[in-house]
């Protein structure tokens, strides 16, 4: 016996049910469920998504048994309706609609009024007693079938319709009479013959087969493919096909059609929300040919049908316990439901609806938390482009840090700062940013770069600041010296307004209206519910007291990564740092470092105070020496003055320090293996700050972290250095502070030898930015040039710098945890790479058994929610 490909629904009973979405598609499952709970649904049958998958794996041929099962189902349908398909006296007409597992609104194809031909149209006219309606349905059918199945452009038919309306001097198609529509039918058929070289198919069975094929084929049309890519829907799923008896909204003024949501999908307010059209068929609402009316007006025009609709929508919402997006048709004052599915909603609405439904007792807390998608709530935490505004983007880069920003283009960090001081809103436009640009980045509303990937400097820093950033926008041509850029024939000079959308990567000329984020009471409450379920801790990557405060306000339970290098670039400190790097001996370095220490101590004090009672992980200096080297003669001159070393000597030293691969060069703990006094200075600053505050009664919990360790001996040596400094400071101040010394696991060798390393580490924090870079052998800074194509081609499902490469890098994390804990059972483990704020990566961290994730302050709410989802979904 062949497999069951076709599921019937009708007469109050369906073969499928609401939970069969995978098999029947969302629409098919909804129709089955509605039938089973006695909602008025026209009968029909669903061809399974499996049949579509078979069709594709079978050279676009139907699987065995499908045709027979369709014929049988059609027989049942004829009995249920009491009309026959192709009957010239009183024909049964059907709709043929797509329906995938998850809704892909408008992406695939639909054919209505199928079964009409030159003969059955006459039968429809006489059986309905409405010739106008019959020919209106026929012309609609030829148009849709012609477009969807035969590939004749929709516009060709629209033009004829418009001409006809013009000739008759009417503005709406409902005003055309039967004779006009008959003429149109002839014209439409002519178009089909000319365009396709064959007559419009008259045989209903052939029409049905062609339409089902077309729906199968529409699974792979370009827009469906693009939609799936954007929404991460697998290409292998296939679509279901729903063949359903037609009910007619176009039979007169006691008929109509509409779409509605059981609550407002934009605000979440508990109000029936939607639109309808009188004397129309479904596609008219979507096609925008006529302007639909607000649903509430239906109450006045068709009170009886509205009362039915009200009852049905309430039943559906209670039954599904979620907002429903419904489609209905009213035929001669009687209501029929054509679709119900869970309604797509904005982040704001998702939060409000989940909160309200819990309060109404419709869902439990667990469900309420699961109803709010972590990916989505990011929208609530940044200013964004007003969804009501319309605009054209001139370029698209990587959506590196969400939100939107409007400002005048400036091309240097200094300009950004000085313009901002004058009260101007600016967008900092750079080829790529460097740590030196930090002040300008901070002063700008947003950052736009031409190169760099999702973990490029600009992207990481912008996310940390919660600042909008579009990175790696290759189509803009920047002339930093000339203070201008060109894109697609436009020239943008310093001071010209631009808008960037860091959520989509779009770059727009001029000013677009923005709206402020609102962290509503309901959102805050849902996050506390999330906290009840999650088992992963959530910390923040924060380098300044301000960022730490933001993180704490968003619910961070500590700092998981403080990158101390940012502190080296602030104000005049960079000069002292350069002096240290270019010094020729230990004494020179120590002298320069002494100048930096007071600043560092102050920085740490600030962080400890804000994070009182919570752990603060301070990572000792990491970036390549290369980044600190003075590039201009002016900078060398400054160092020369401060240090008393001759200009030429310093310049030569700067040249000697040049590196070919700084990211794999003299950085991280390697700096301290060669120049221990750097980490020593930092350790003094940390413990002097900690002891001072402890004396004042502040509860400080420092965790010192050594970066880029690949060999346990590196850690062994540097831990001893830190412990010695700690002991010395505590001895001197007479204060005891509990602290930990741990390491980052961010090199494959560290993961492979995590057992050896754990003997010397009190915690591990996985630096998955570097771990991804080194495991994949893909430079973080150059990835932007080719990774997008890798994702496009499906080599990587997602950018591995954004969502952890679970099967590759993930193994190193799992191995690191297991090996580490084999030596130190209670080893605390966390993640502080950018992945710490990515919901899918957070789910992975849960499975890998980490204790906490650490992410940028503005992603803390996302991480809290994602951690709850991870715990609840197991």
563 is in an annotated binding site: yes
Report 731-750 residues binding ligand PEP (CB under 6 A). Answer: 746
Q: What is the largest CA-CA distance in the chain?
A: 106
Helical (H) or strand (E) element with 399: strand 398-401
> Helix 120-128 crosses helix 131-148 at what angle (to 10 degrees)?
140
CA distance 193 to 856: 61
- The nearest distance, CB 449 to ligand PEP, in angstroms, is 17
When asked if residue 834 is in the footprint of Mg ion (CB under 5 A), the reply is no
Residues that contact ligand PEP, how many (by CB under 6 A): 10
Say if residues 236 and 53 touch (Cβ distance below 8 Å).
Answer: yes
Is 611 within 8 Å of 552 (Cβ atoms)?
yes
| Residue 286 in tokens | 């979507």
768's contact among Mg ion, ligand PEP, none, with CB below 5 to 8 A by partner kind, is ligand PEP
The reply to whether 832 sits near ligand PEP by the rule CB under 6 A is yes
- Residue in 505, 702, 784, 833 binding ligand PEP, rule: CB under 6 A: 833
Size of the site for Mg ion (CB under 5 A): 3
Sign of CA dihedral 430, 563, 634, 425: positive
CB within 8 Å of 432: residues ≥ 6 apart: 449, 450, 451, 452, 456, 457, 458, 781
Helix 204-218, helix 131-148: angle, nearest 10: 50
In the complex, the smallest distance separating the C-beta of residue 773 from Mg ion, rounded to whole angstroms, is: 8
d(CA 124, CA 92): 9
563 binds, among Mg ion, ligand PEP, none (CB under 5 to 8 A by kind): ligand PEP
Is 59 annotated to bind a ligand? Reply is: no
How far is it, in rounded angstroms, from Cα 808 to Cα 817?
A: 15
- The residue behind tokens 């001669």 is 332
We find the least distance from the C-beta atom of residue 347 to Mg ion, in angstroms, to be: 31
| Touching ligand PEP, residues 617-676 (CB under 6 A) | 622
Under the binding rule (CB under 6 A), the answer on residue 561 touching ligand PEP is yes
Pattern 28-47, binding to Mg ion, x per CB under 5 A? --------------------
User: Looking up tokens 């008759």, which residue turns up?
Assistant: 168
Residue 437 contacts which entry, Mg ion, ligand PEP, none (Cβ below 5-8 A, type-dependent): none
Least separation, in Å, of the C-beta of 852 and ligand PEP? Answer: 14
Closer residue to Mg ion (CB): 455 or 549: 455
Is 457 annotated as catalytic? yes
CB of 708 to Mg ion, least distance (A): 7
Distance CA 410, CA 417 (A): 10
Is 242 annotated in some ligand binding site?
no
The smaller minimum CB distance to Mg ion, of residues 714 and 746, is found at: 746
Instruction: Look up 666 and say whether it is catalytic.
Output: no
Print the binding letters for residues 761-800 with ligand PEP: x by CB under 6 A, - otherwise.
------xxxx------------------------------
Q: Choose among Mg ion, ligand PEP, none what residue 115 binds, the Cβ cut-off being 5 to 8 Å by kind.
A: none
Q: Distance between CA 216 and CA 193 in Å, rounded?
A: 24
Residue closest to 565 by CA, chosen among 429, 701, 662, 652: 662
Regarding 563 and contact with ligand PEP (CB under 6 A), the answer is yes
Give whichever of 636 and 853 is closer to ligand PEP, judged by the CB atom: 853
Q: Which does 833 bind (CB under 5 to 8 A by kind): ligand PEP, Mg ion, none?
A: ligand PEP
Of 575 and 834, nearer to ligand PEP (C-beta) is 834
Tell me, rounded to whole angstroms, the distance of Cα 39 from its chain centroid: 35
Measured between alpha carbons, how far is 400 from 240 in angstroms, rounded to an integer? 36
State whether the Cα torsion 234-238-244-246 is positive or negative: positive
Q: Is 68 annotated as a binding residue?
A: no
Pick the catalytic residue from 255, 382, 442, 457: 457
Take residue 292 and report the two structure tokens written for it: 């639909």
Tokens of 284: 């008219």
- For residues 313 to 352, the per-residue mask of contacts with ligand PEP, x marking binding by CB under 6 A and - elsewhere, is ----------------------------------------
Strand partners, 95: 244
* Residue 180 assigned as binding residue: no
Ligand-binding site membership of 864 (annotated): no
Helix (H) or strand (E) holding 30, with range, is helix 21-36
Q: Which is nearer to ligand PEP, 417 or 746 (CB)?
A: 746
When CB distances are held under 5 to 8 angstroms depending on the partner's kind, the choice from Mg ion, ligand PEP, none that residue 615 binds is none
| Cα 388 off chain centre by | 20
Nearest approach in angstroms of CB 393 to ligand PEP is 30
Q: Are 429 and 485 in contact (CB under 8 A)?
A: yes
Query: CA-based angle 606:610:614, to the nearest 5?
Result: 120
Q: How far is the CB of 484 from Mg ion (least distance, A)?
A: 35
Nearer to Mg ion, 832 or 866 (CB): 832
Residue 831 or 866: the one with the smaller Cβ distance to ligand PEP is 831
Binding to Mg ion (CB under 5 A) within 80-109 occurs at: none
Q: How far is the CB of 277 from ligand PEP (least distance, A)?
A: 55
Between residues 109 and 746, which has the closer beta carbon with respect to ligand PEP? 746
Q: Minimum Å distance from CB 835 to ligand PEP?
A: 8
User: Would residue 758 be called left, alpha or beta, if left means φ above 0 and alpha means ψ between -120 and 50 degrees?
Assistant: alpha
> Cα–Cα–Cα angle for 566, 568, 573, nearest 5°?
140
**614-639 burial, b if ≥16 CB within 10 A, otherwise e?**
bbbbbbbbbbbbbbbbbeeeebbebb
223 labeled part of a ligand binding site: no
Q: Which residue, 97 or 835, has its beta carbon nearer to ligand PEP?
A: 835
Supply the minimum distance, in Å, between the C-beta of residue 686 and ligand PEP: 18
From first CA to last CA, the distance across the chain in angstroms is 39
Mark residues 729-768: x for contact with Mg ion by CB under 5 A, - for none.
Answer: -----------------x--------------------x-
Among positions 584-623, residues that touch ligand PEP (CB under 6 A) are: 622
Cβ closest to Mg ion, residue 702 vs residue 833:
833
Note whether 405 and 411 are within 8 A (CB).
Answer: no
Distance separating alpha carbons of residues 383 and 503, to the nearest angstrom: 10
Segments of 767-847 assigned E as strands: 828-831
- Residue written as token pair 């493919």: 225
The residue from 832, 835, 855, 869 that is catalytic is 832
- Residue ranges that bind ligand PEP, judged by CB under 6 A: 561, 563, 622, 746, 767-770, 832-833
Would you list which residues are annotated within the binding site for Mg(2+)? Answer: 746, 770
Residues with a catalytic annotation lie at 457, 832
- Residue ranges that bind Mg ion, judged by CB under 5 A: 746, 767, 770
């Amino acid at each position: 016996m062949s497999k069951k490909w076709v599921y019937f629904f009708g007469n109050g009973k369906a073969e499928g049910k609401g939970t069969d979405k995978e098999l029947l598609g969302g629409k098919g499952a909804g129709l089955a469920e509605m039938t089973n709970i006695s909602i008025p649904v026209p009968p029909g049958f669903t061809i399974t998504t499996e049949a579509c998958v078979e069709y594709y794996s079978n050279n676009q041929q139907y699987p065995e048994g499908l045709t027979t099962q369709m014929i049988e189902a059609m027989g049942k349908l004829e009995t249920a309706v009491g009309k026959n398909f192709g009957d010239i006296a009183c024909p049964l007409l059907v709709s043929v609609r797509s329906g995938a597992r998850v809704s892909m609104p408008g992406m695939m194809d639909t054919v209505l009024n199928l079964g009409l031909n030159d003969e059955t149209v006459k039968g429809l006219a006489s059986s309905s007693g409405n010739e106008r309606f019959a020919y209106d349905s026929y012309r609609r059918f030829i148009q849709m079938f012609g477009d969807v199945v035969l590939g004749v452009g929709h516009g060709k038919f629209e033009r004829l319709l418009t001409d006809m309306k013009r000739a008759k001097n009417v503005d709406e198609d409902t005003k055309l009479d039967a004779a006009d529509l008959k003429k149109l039918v002839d014209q439409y058929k002519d178009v089909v013959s000319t365009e396709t070289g064959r007559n419009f198919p008259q045989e209903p069975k052939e029409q049905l087969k062609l339409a089902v094929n077309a729906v199968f084929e529409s699974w792979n049309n370009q827009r469906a493919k693009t939609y799936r890519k954007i929404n991460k829907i697998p290409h292998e799923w296939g679509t279901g096909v729903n063949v359903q008896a037609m009910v007619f909204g176009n039979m007169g003024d006691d008929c109509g059609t509409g779409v509605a949501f059981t609550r407002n999908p934009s605000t979440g307010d508990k109000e029936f929300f939607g639109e309808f059209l009188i004397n129309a068929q479904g596609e008219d609402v979507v096609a925008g040919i006529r302007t639909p009316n607000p649903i509430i007006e239906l109450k006045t025009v068709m009170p009886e049908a509205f009362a039915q609709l009200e009852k049905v929508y309430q039943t559906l919402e209670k039954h599904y316990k979620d907002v429903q997006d419904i489609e209905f048709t009213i035929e001669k004052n009687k209501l029929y439901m054509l679709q119900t599915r869970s309604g797509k909603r904005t982040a704001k609405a998702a939060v409000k609806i989940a909160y309200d439904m819990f309060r109404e007792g419709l869902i439990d807390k667990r469900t309420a938390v699961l109803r709010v998608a972590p990916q989505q709530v990011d929208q609530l935490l940044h200013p964004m482009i007003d969804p009501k505004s319309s605009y054209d983007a001139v370029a698209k880069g990587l959506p590196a840090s969400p939100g939107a920003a409007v400002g005048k283009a400036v091309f240097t960090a200094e300009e950004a700062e000085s313009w901002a001081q004058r009260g101007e809103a600016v967008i900092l436009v750079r080829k790529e940013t460097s740590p030196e640009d930090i002040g300008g980045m901070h002063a700008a509303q947003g950052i736009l770069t031409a190169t760099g990937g999702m973990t490029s400097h600009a992207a990481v820093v912008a996310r940390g600041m919660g600042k909008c950033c579009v990175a790696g926008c290759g189509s803009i041509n920047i002339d930093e010296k000339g203070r201008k850029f060109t894109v697609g024939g436009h020239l943008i000079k310093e001071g010209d307004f631009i808008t960037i959308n860091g959520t989509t990567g779009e770059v727009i000329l001029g000013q677009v209206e923005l709206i402020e984020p609102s962290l509503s009471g309901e959102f805050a409450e849902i996050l506390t519910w999330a906290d009840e379920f999650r088992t992963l801790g959530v910390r923040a990557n924060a380098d300044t007291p301000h960022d730490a405060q933001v993180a704490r306000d968003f619910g961070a339970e500590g700092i998981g990564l403080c990158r101390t290098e940012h502190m080296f670039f602030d104000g005049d400190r960079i000069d002292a740092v350069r002096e240290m790097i270019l010094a020729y001996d230990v004494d020179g370095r120590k002298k320069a470092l002494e100048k930096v220490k007071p600043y560092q101590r102050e920085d740490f004090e600030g962080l400890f105070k804000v994070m009182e009672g919570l752990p603060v992980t301070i990572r000792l200096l990491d970036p390549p020496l290369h980044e600190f080297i003075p590039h201009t003669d002016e900078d060398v001159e400054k160092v020369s003055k401060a240090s008393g070393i001759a200009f030429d000597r310093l310049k030569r030293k700067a040249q000697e320090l040049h590196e070919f691969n700084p990211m794999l060069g003299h950085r991280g703990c390697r700096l301290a293996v060669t120049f221990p006094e750097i980490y020593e200075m930092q350790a003094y600053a940390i413990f002097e700050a900690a002891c001072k505050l402890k004396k004042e009664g502040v509860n400080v919990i420092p965790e010192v972290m050594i970066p880029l360790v690949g060999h346990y001996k590196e850690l062994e040596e540097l831990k001893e250095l830190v412990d010695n400094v700690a002991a010395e400071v505590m001895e001197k101040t007479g204060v005891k502070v509990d602290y930990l010394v741990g390491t980052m696991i961010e090199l494959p060798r560290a993961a492979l030898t995590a057992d050896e390393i754990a003997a010397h580490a009190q915690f591990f924090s996985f630096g998955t930015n570097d771990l991804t870079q080194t495991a994949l052998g893909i430079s973080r800074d150059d990835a932007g040039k080719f990774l997008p194509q890798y994702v496009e081609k499906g080599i990587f499902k997602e950018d591995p710098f954004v969502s952890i490469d679970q099967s590759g890098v993930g193994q190193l994390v799992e191995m690191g945890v297991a090996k580490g804990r084999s030596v130190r059972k209670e080893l605390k483990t966390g993640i502080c790479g950018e992945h710490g704020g990515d919901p899918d990566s957070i789910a992975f961290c849960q499975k890998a058994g980490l204790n906490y994730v650490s992410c940028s302050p503005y992603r803390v709410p996302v991480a809290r929610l994602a951690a709850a989802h991870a715990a609840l979904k197991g």
